[in-house]
Amino acid sequence: MLPESARLAGSIARVLPESARLAGSIVWVLPESARLWFREMSTGDLDDMAALLGDPDVMRYYPASKTRHEAMQWIEWNQGLYQSRGYGLWIMTLSESGEFVGDCGLTPQFVDGREELEVGYHVLPSLQSKGYATEAAAAARDFARDRLGARRLTAIIDPANRPSQRVAEKIGLHPEKRTRNRSGTDIVLYAADW
Ligand SMILES: CC(C)(COP(=O)(O)OP(=O)(O)OC[C@H]1O[C@@H](n2cnc3c(N)ncnc32)[C@H](O)[C@@H]1OP(=O)(O)O)[C@@H](O)C(=O)NCCC(=O)NCCS
């Protein structure tokens, strides 16, 4: 565990081993666990992100799996968010091995004409049901509340997506309303207000 002063500094790369710095700038270490690290996405993550977002299981509740080109657009979208907002979806890796786990983080989304801060998560099928999404989403929630000063966090979830609903529930979000997203698909808005 890093000293508090190191974690508060914003960039903690200087106190991490060289191996941890290779793939991009480390954003922060999950406060309650050393199992996962987050870092910003870069174009060097395209193979991993294309495999994740191209997986039919991972994308079961999306209109379609993403092509490699769309995975690149996803990375570029998040890079834009880091610049404009100071957050986005981050790459999750196992702290012990550096193995790619998926992505998790925060994005702005519109629901019923209102901008919401959403926590999002995608985990490789081979690494699901180990508690990684819950751990990462809890850390993203803490980042939103404690670092960004957010007063509200949401998750926009397909009514049939129980694993995602369980993750949202376990980090303290509650079903607030059923509505439709911009493409007319039914969603449940999970939310917590502080
Ligand atoms: C949602 C997702 C990120 C969860 O990742 P994960 O690392 O497996 O999550 P966790 O291990 O932290 O917890 C999963 C929870 O879902 C539950 N779960 C898993 N499959 C389930 C199912 N078919 N029915 C009900 N609950 C289920 C698990 O039991 C666990 O809850 P529990 O601790 O109460 O038992 C992963 O399933 C995923 O990547 N899904 C595809 C992408 C996606 O839908 N993202 C969310 C978009 S809103």
Q: 95 CA distance to ligand 1 centroid (A)?
A: 21
Return the residue whose CA atom lies nearest to atom 21 of ligand 1.
163
Domains delineated in the chain: 24-193 (3.40.630.30)
159 lines ligand 1 (CB under 6 A): no
Q: What is the pTM of this model?
A: 0.88
Q: Which amino acid is at 129?
A: S
Q: Report pLDDT digits (tens) over 16-69.
A: 433 344 445 555 555 546 699 889 999 999 999 999 999 999 999 999 999 999
132 lines ligand 1 (CB under 6 A): yes
On whether the CB atoms of residues 92 and 103 are closer than 8 A, the answer is yes
Q: Which residues of 13-39 are buried (b: 16+ CB within 10 A; e: fewer)?
A: eeebeeebeebeebbbbbeeeebbbbb
Q: Report pLDDT digits (tens) over 1-16.
A: 333 333 333 333 333 4
